[in-house]
Structure 1
Amino acid sequence: MPWTLPSRPSRRSLLAGAAGAAGAALLTGCSDAGSPGTDTGIPLERRMREAAVRDSARLLERYDATAAAHPALAARLAPLRAAVAAHTAAFSLTPSDAPSPSASASPSGGTGAAAPAPSAEPVPPKPADALTALADTERSLSEARTIDLAGAPGELARMLASVAACGAVHAYLLTSPPTPTPGAAL
């Protein structure tokens, strides 16, 4: 008996088509191609790098605000802030750029990016709460960068992964008690 085309679609083909349409709608909804003010002529990697620079610059601003509000924390925050400044500089480089020796020397990380919008969230008045708030900011940014890995091109994905891991370590260090330096009086 020869096979004939059914007169109506099967339930399986309808479900498969609906799933495909839903998947396409989700992908379209997740992209920023239809967002107002988005220039789709800008390559994905460049847009992702620019967003990473902005995020890192805002994080630097949080470190600076916390150190200014709690000068006793400045020495503890300095190495973490320096790492964030280095991340900002690294994200601002394209793969063909050569790093400059002064890239992380300036307060803004030397990225040349526009100054970030001032943080709307004030620094908590207690030093322990300020460290917790900074750790929460680091943790949130680390999680966001981990999510961004899925859509990032190769080298940028590796950098995002490294910086996300560093942010998770920063969050841990900010919420753990400081360890005394060898030879320091207890």
Structure 2
Amino acid sequence: MPWTVPSRPSRRSLLAGAVGVVGAAALTGCSDDRPAAGEGGIPLERRMREAAVRDSARLLERYDATAAAHPALAARLAPLRAAVAAHSGALAAAAGSPSPSASRSGGTGAAAPAPGGEPVPPKAEEALTALADAERSLSQARTIDLAGAPGELARLLASVAACGAVHAYLLTSTPGATS
């Protein structure tokens, strides 16, 4: 039987990637924990946390818009959205920022545009792919931010980035399929 390249990453490759991210965070976490002062005297860590909270809020809005546009996906999206809300809360805790609400905002059920005015794709599969792309993009951005983050924040960003990568995989995998 000829060997073929899998179309999706395996669980092992996802776990290996997550371990790599955590390892990078551990190395970054060995630095001085004193946040540097930057623009306007606001510590670097606080600025980074506030930016991460804003990014999480936009991702939560994207989850809400997707669930509103495709109610049949709401149950599948609920646990992933709850995890994003929990990450936002953890990031906001030390920044002194309010975290985005973990509960869904009420609405009429009409399809809301995703953040940035982008409409949610009309087909459910395309909407999941767009949401996975948003998770993947944010995960990659958080991984890049590890290099400049103070110790504890770097560890938190690594964890959240790894979780975002898993979310991207789960959003594009077939529910109930085994691998």
Q: Name the TM-score, length of structure 2 as normaliser.
A: 0.67
Unaligned runs of 5+ residues in structure 1 are 1-32, 98-102, 109-116, 181-186
Change (3 A) 1:105 1:64: closer
Q: Name the TM-score, length of structure 1 as normaliser.
A: 0.65
Match among 119, 126, 134 for residue 129 of structure 1: 126
Per the TM alignment, residue 122 of structure 1 is displaced from its structure 2 partner at its CA by 1.1
Alpha-carbon RMSD? 2.5
Equivalence for 1:27:
none
Equivalence for 1:158:
155
- Contact 2:62–2:131 (Cα < 8 Å) also in 1: yes
Equivalence for 1:73:
73
Q: Distance in 2 between matches of 1:107 and 1:66?
A: 12
Q: Give % identity.
A: 82
Ranges of 4+ aligned residues in structure 1 off by more than 6 Å: none
Q: How many residues align?
A: 131
- Contact 1:141–1:167 (Cα < 8 Å) also in 2: yes
Unaligned runs of 5+ residues in structure 2 are 1-36, 106-113
Say which structure, 1 or 2, has more relative contact order (CA 8 Å, 6+ apart).
2
Match among 130, 136, 139 for residue 139 of structure 1: 136
Which one has the bigger helix percentage?
2
- Contact 2:66–2:120 (Cα < 8 Å) also in 1: yes
Q: Which has the larger radius of gyration?
A: 1
Per the TM alignment, residue 53 of structure 1 is displaced from its structure 2 partner at its CA by 0.2
Matches within 5 A, 1:26-105: 39-94=39-94, 105=102
